Structure 1
Amino acid sequence: MDATSITALALLIAAWAFVSGALSRHNLTGPMLFTLVGFLLGNPWWGPLAIDVETRSAHAVAELALAMLLFADASRIDLRALRRQAAVPLRLLGIGLPLAIVLGTVAAFLLGPDMPWALALFIGAALAPTDAALSAPVIEDRRIPLLLRRSLNVESGLNDGIATPVVTVGVVLTASALGLTSATESVAFATVVRELAVGAGAGVAVGVLGGWAATVATRRGWTTPGARRIAVLSLAVCAFGLAQAAGANAFIAAFTAGLAFSAVAAKDVVDTEADVVLPELGGELLALGVWFLFGAGLIPVILAYANGWTVLYAVLALTVLRMLPVALALVGAGLPPRHVLFLGWFGPRGLASVVFALIAVEELAESQHPLVAQAIAVVALTVLLSVLLHGATAGPAAARSSGAPEPGDADAPQARRGHLPAADRGASTNP
């Protein structure tokens, strides 16, 4: 993006922020609007702005936005309360996510003409992670059982990172099959495990050290609330950067850093809710830019390469390929069918899938292979449909729900000054 594009985007974000509350009451979310504006102003056919999503900077902005939001969301999770209700999110992550990747891969292989397994694996893994922000009005509504809201938050916080190594494997194998590179040890199972383990370790280390330092500095009067917020923002970026430098999973690092910071920081002196404002707002700001890039660079790919099988797959990805794994994962969990259906539907695809699509653009676009373009198109189309359908149905679903707030709802959302409307966040949000 050049200076003109950045200036235009900044003005658009400011204009949207001033009317975002009014727009959200009509179920018009930030991702919806910035996708549309990005397409109108940045498409390669008539758009007046020069937008290039193939640059490394676009990929980096998307990754950093997701990491900052994951850190902020994790910092607001009550680990002690989560331990009492860990069964459902663990089932979703340990059973539902692998099943979603497998089913998504098989469906892509069967539906896509001449689709190689490696590229089908990329599609299945790229569309397995969920983005709770697109259904934030539901997740943040205290009439919805806390177990469901917390489960969706934890699932969306961790499944991005767990799916990332699988996406990497699919991209590496596809690049090798197309003659762009040779498959290396990057696709080995041991490497995938290492990326997850090192990423989690780096995140925990940063979060523990940061939580301890925040507690000590506050108790001894060495810092101020404003300076501590800057420190917390730096912790989110540090966890992300440390994992990147170590070749580890940066999304897992960001999420575990937020969990560790919240667990270690003493609640009697450190206001975690206020301290994560900067990472959250920074992530929301960057995410709006990512949705603008999505509209400018990936919507044209949909229009150019989408066909019958890509549309069918996108519909299946948002329904059967999500709902069936969730239903199987929750067999024996004791949840009523309507709660299982709720968890199955409100698993929208968002920022993580956009990041994975940008990875494919960066690593595989050189091949100019039509199947690669179709794979990117099907991921982008699924995200677009999710932005529209989940954004439009989240508010009405919350309004139709009934029941009193649960007693002791420690994770219940509070009005936070300076925050954008929850429905417009670009990544997962607190329950």
Structure 2
Amino acid sequence: MEQLPLLFIAIFLMAFCLLGRWFARTIVTAPMLALGFGAFLAWGNLVPEQIAKAHLHVLAEIALVILLFLDAARIDIQSLLKRHRWPLRTLIIGMPLAFVGGTAVIWLLFPGWPLAVAALLGAILVPTDAALGRSVVTNEDVPERHRRAITIESGLNDGIALPMILMLAALSAPAAAAPTGGWILYTVLQVTLGPLVGAGLGVLGGIGLLAAQERDLTSPLYEGIATLSLAAAAYFAATAVGGNGFIAAFAAGIGFACIVRDRCQFVYDFSESEGQLLSWAAFFGIGALLVPEAIASLNVPMAAAIALSLAVVRPLAIWISLIGSDADPSTRLFIGWFGPRGLATALFALLVVEKFAPELGDFVLHFAINTVWISALLHGVTAVPMAKAFAAHQSMKTSQR
């Protein structure tokens, strides 16, 4: 019966895909189901022996490299330059405000932990994941500008938050062996060499792809493999010279997008197919291996901090960031609420947890994982009804003009 859990997983995946369009019209999302099904198998002692936390760390790193690259590569640079006011405000003003607010809430509710730990968690909770509100960003009744603002913010904020997370992780783990040259030099090299190497390779890769296309030397199949290889090359090249590979992958995606723009259909096709499967696999692994332990550690202060982060800190930060723009109050509330914490939050926590002693590492990891499953539930349930209500409200406003 060792194959029974794998059989359950295969049947679950097939059933979901056969009902995928129907699920898209309901309050049930793919991440919500993947997390829940993984936790269900864990509570029933049915998690396959082939799935271990070590494997989850490997999957997390692969997923993070690919998703960081694809998120950046999918950014419509021209649209961002033309209609950039909302997303730039949410990134330049909203993100720092959300970080400061989240840090303050966690520090006040957990005074026993150092401020650096509260700041680390505040940074880990900043990135958003549009996939958890997919019904919003794919609903064509919602004005395109609103959907684009949410998508651009989600695509860029994880890469922007990563350097801060790495620095705070180093500050929060003083017991870790200091690298040659000290933590300051290490951090500077991580956050400077990574972007330089990644952006350079992204630009060169984009130029090479366009040259191959113009000379009819390649095809969509090979372009796809080349694009993924570019993300991997950026990661390993940055690591080899002392930079951070994850930041490099994100920077490579931006450099690639600046050159290629919309001439690499693979980036979009992969994100909608194999990229979705990779994301589901990561959510399933998180549900099966981390959610049960995280729920067991959930207490009143942690639940309060998570609720404030999701329902107060983030919406308030976005509201303030859009003051002075043409965003009306309903738009500020809508964009502020749809900042779900998803895969980036979980993967960043997994990325830094090994730097800490078990007690501190467990606290950071459980806090992040509890935030992810609670956000998946709340934002998943509200995505369809709120998108419909907001679209109707915007349509009525337009008709009254």
Q: Kindly state the Cα deviation for residue 199 of structure 1 after the two structures are TM-superposed.
A: 2.8
Structure 1 residue 20, shift from structure 2 partner: 2.1
Equivalence for 1:32:
32
| CA offsets 1:15-53 (integer angstroms, 9 cap, x no match) | 43233222222232211111111112235x733433766
Q: Give unpaired runs (5+ residues) of structure 2.
A: 396-401
- 1:230 equivalent in alignment to 2:225: yes
Q: Residue 274 of structure 2 is aligned with which of 282, 300, 309? A: 282
Residues in 1 aligned to 2:247 and 2:321: alpha-carbon distance in whole angstroms = 22
Aligned to 2:294: 302
Cα distance, 1:374 vs structure 2: 3.2
**Structure 2 SS opposite 1:363:** coil
Partner of 1:134: 132
Q: Which residue of 2 aligns with 1:316?
A: 308
Cα separation, partners in 2 of 1:68 and 1:48, compared to 1, 3 Å? closer
What is the distance in 2 between the residues matched to 1:19 and 1:38? 19
Measure the CA separation in 2 of the matches of 1:363 and 1:54: 16
Displacement of 1:386 in angstroms is 0.7
The offset of 1:184, in angstroms, is: 8.0
1:103 is matched with: 101
Q: Which deviates the most, 240-249 or 131-140?
A: 240-249
Q: Is 1:143 matched with 2:141?
A: yes
Residue among 387, 391, 394 paired with 2:376: 387
2:118 pairs with 120, 134, 150, which one?
120
Give the match for residue 155 of structure 1.
Answer: 153
Equivalent positions of 1:265-276 (< 5 A) are: 265=260, 270=263, 272-274=264-266, 276=268
User: Where do 1:399-418 residues align within 5 Å?
Assistant: 399-400=388-389, 401-402=391-392
Aligned residue number for residue 50 of structure 1: 49
The unaligned stretches of length 5 or more in structure 1 are 405-431
TM-score, L = length of structure 1: 0.81
The AA in structure 2 aligned to 1:380 is: I
Does the Cα contact within 8 Å between 2:68 and 2:158 map onto a contact in 1?
Answer: no
1:341 aligns with 2:339: no
- In the alignment, residue 145 of structure 1 is paired with which amino acid? P
Q: Of residues 214, 238, 255 in structure 2, which corresponds to 1:243?
A: 238
Q: Which amino acid aligns with 1:322?
A: R
Q: Which residue identity lines up with residue 17 of structure 1 in the other structure?
A: C
- What is the root-mean-square deviation of aligned Cα atoms in Å? 2.9
Amino acid at match of 1:395: V
Deviations 1:279-330 (A, max 9, x none): 6533322211111121122212223211110010010110111112212222
Paired residues of 1:134 and 1:348 also in contact (CA < 8 A) = yes
Match in the other structure for 2:365: 376
Match of 2:13 in 1: 13
Structure-2-length-normalised TM-score? 0.87
Please say if residues 24 and 135 of structure 2, whose CA atoms lie closer than 8 Å, have aligned partners that are also in contact. no
Hey, what's the Cα distance between the residues in 2 that align with 1:186 and 1:93? 31
Residues 225 and 164 of structure 1, relative CA distance in 2, 3 Å threshold: closer
Q: Distance in 2 between matches of 1:281 and 1:169?
A: 34
Cα distance, 1:130 vs structure 2: 0.8
Which residue number corresponds to residue 409 of structure 1?
A: none
Shift of 1:114: 1.0
- When residues 246 and 9 of structure 1 are mapped into structure 2, their CA distance, relative to the original with a 3 A threshold, is farther
SS at 1:130's partner residue?
coil
Q: Structure 1 vs Structure 2: percent identity of aligned residues?
A: 37
Between 145-154 and 303-312, the greater mean CA deviation after superposition: 145-154
Query: Does the 8 Å contact 2:47/2:288 carry over to 1?
Result: no
Q: Does residue 215 of structure 1 match 2:210?
A: yes
Flag the structure with higher helix content: 2
2:252 aligned residue (257, 268, 272): 257
The answer on whether the counterparts of 1:62 and 1:286 sit within 8 Å (CA) in structure 2 is no
The one-letter code matched in structure 2 to 1:345 is W
What residue identity is the alignment partner of 1:281? S
In the other structure, the counterpart of 2:74 is 76
CA contact (8 A) 2:295 2:370 kept: no
* Offset at residue 389 of structure 1 (A): 0.9
For 1:50 and 1:134, the matched residues in 2 are separated by: 28
Secondary structure class of the residue paired with 2:355: helix
| Partner AA of 1:31 in structure 2 | P
Work out the number of aligned pairs and report it.
392
The whole-number CA distance in structure 2 between the counterparts of 1:65 and 1:168 is 18
In the alignment, is the contact (CA less than 8 A) between 1:160 and 1:251 conserved in 2? no
- Whether contact under 8 Å (1:102, 1:124) holds in the other structure is yes
Counterparts of 1:46 and 1:156, CA distance in 2: 35
Provide the C-alpha distance between the structure 2 equivalents of 1:214 and 1:115, rounded to a whole number of angstroms. 49
Distance 1:338 1:276, change over 3 A: closer
Amino acid at match of 2:367: V
| Maintained 8 Å contact 2:201/2:234 | yes
Larger mean Cα displacement after TM superposition, 312-321 or 99-108? 99-108
In structure 2, what is the Cα distance between the partners aligned to 1:3 and 1:360? 33
